Amino acid sequence: MKRIRLVVAYDGTNYCGWQLQKNGVTIEEMLNRELTALLKEPIAVIGASRTDAGVHAMGNVAVFDTENPMAADKICLAVNQSLPEDIRVQSSEEVSPDWHPRKANCTKTYEYRIENRRVVMPTKRLYSYFCYYPLDIEKMRQGAAFLLGEHDFKSFCTAKSNVEDTVRTIDGLEVEKEENTIVIRISGSGFLYNMVRIIAGTLIRVGTGAYPPEEVAAILAARDRRRAGPTAPARGLTLVEMKYETVLSPWKHSENAEWSYHVLQSHIKEKETAFFLIERCREEDWTGLIRRNVHHAFQNGARRVLAVDWEKNRLREGDSYGYYRIQGMNSWQLEEAIGILEKEEKERILELSCGASWYCAVDGGSYFPLNSG
């Protein structure tokens, strides 16, 4: 058995999105059908991004498992012979059996296109949103700047979404214009349901003058879907690319009005240990902050996360955050953990912790022994 990764491009106009549905044809259905026929065995692909009806893609990613001996790099060429013209597999390659497109660290990039002109251009009608009101691109850029970084994007998520955690990170958000085409290009580690289209709809409101740019900050802070603009039509949205992280960055830092923290990740691979330092966090965001960051460290390979709450010492032995349990640490255990650090890392960790009490988050369903000295 081997696992194959595909990069898939498609025109979403004629499909009911990526994911299998009873009420219409989807991209996933077409891939499953043609790969099954090609490889002579049942195939079920797992997609990285389950795009909506009418949304396009230049680089969605999917995997499937197969026992067929066909060379991995030949599968894309072979399956393209039978796929419809509006779906094409751009590449195929073998990956490790445990690689999962939704669990690996990834930066997704979307583009939302707006045709800003008096009369619609027929050749662009399927791939952009037509807006005949003049849009102020500078004001759109000013509004977009408030969304950069890690925030709670509840205001930019469909109200009926069942997702528990609405915190996401936007690494890049650009608004560019060439002739009559405005492109909103947005990159991040993940997006909520309809998040990019709601951001586009909100920035269009800013561009028309219905919202001042600073209203975007107020909408973000409100955590209320009713405050944001409309969900822009699907046809303007394209998933451009997905870049998977091969090496963890040594440090992760996030700071906004609600929280500020640091995560040292450089010892996850060899020592299965991460360090999590919270400078400040609002009470209403505390549980989500701990659960989210500890879970992310465990997904990256940690088996213990040393944590300190510099602000209020809110960590308590025996507390649980989702799957994870908080353990106390004595001086010997802390010395052992700190001992794995490089000199500069140790100095920074001790400076950031400011003498606050350290605790250790472990998987509540297993046991990670701490050196008792």
3-state secondary structure string across 72-105: HHHHHHHHHCCCCCCEEEEEEEEECCCCCCCCCC
Burial 354-365 (b: 16+ CB within 10 A, else e): eebebbbbbbee
Does the annotation mark 309 as catalytic?
Answer: no
The residues pairing with 66 across neighbouring beta strands, listed in sequence order, are 2
pLDDT tens for the chain, 373 residues long, are: 999 999 999 999 999 999 998 889 999 999 999 999 999 999 999 999 999 999 999 999 999 999 999 999 999 999 999 999 999 999 999 999 999 999 999 999 999 999 999 999 999 999 999 999 999 999 999 999 999 999 999 999 997 777 889 999 999 999 999 999 999 999 999 999 999 999 999 999 999 999 999 999 999 999 999 999 999 999 999 999 999 998 999 999 999 999 999 999 999 999 999 999 999 999 999 999 999 999 999 999 999 999 999 999 999 999 999 999 999 998 899 899 989 999 999 998 888 887 789 999 999 765 455 554 3
Q: Which tokens hold the place of 205? A: 């409101």
CA-CA-CA-CA torsion for 348, 351, 353, 354, nearest 10 degrees? Answer: 180
Name residues whose C-beta falls within 8 Å of residue 1's C-beta, 6 or more positions apart in sequence: 65, 66, 67, 97
Nearest to 303 by CA among 238, 364, 241, 225: 364
Nearest to 216 by CA among 179, 260, 180, 175: 175
**Residue listed under structure tokens 């919270």:** 278
In total, the chain counts a number of residues equal to 373
Q: Are 304 and 370 in contact (CB under 8 A)?
A: yes
Nearest to 56 by CA among 216, 203, 241, 184: 241
> What DSSP character marks residue 343?
H
Between vectors from CA 30 to CA 26 and to CA 34, what angle results, nearest 5°? Answer: 170
Nearest to 143 by CA among 219, 197, 254, 196: 219
First to last CA, the chain: 45
- Dihedrals phi, psi of 278, to nearest 5 degrees: -100, 115
Q: Single out the catalytic residue among 11, 52, 136, 165.
A: 52
**Residue listed under structure tokens 């990526």:** 18
CA 106 to chain centre: 7
pLDDT value for 366: 57
pLDDT value for 373: 39
Q: Which tokens hold the place of 189? A: 């580690």
Q: Where are the beta strands (DSSP E) in the chain?
A: 2-10, 46-47, 56-66, 87-95, 106-116, 129-131, 149-152, 167-178, 181-188, 237-244, 251-255, 259-264, 273-281, 304-309, 320-321, 324-328, 358-363
Q: Which tokens hold the place of 172? A: 């890049």
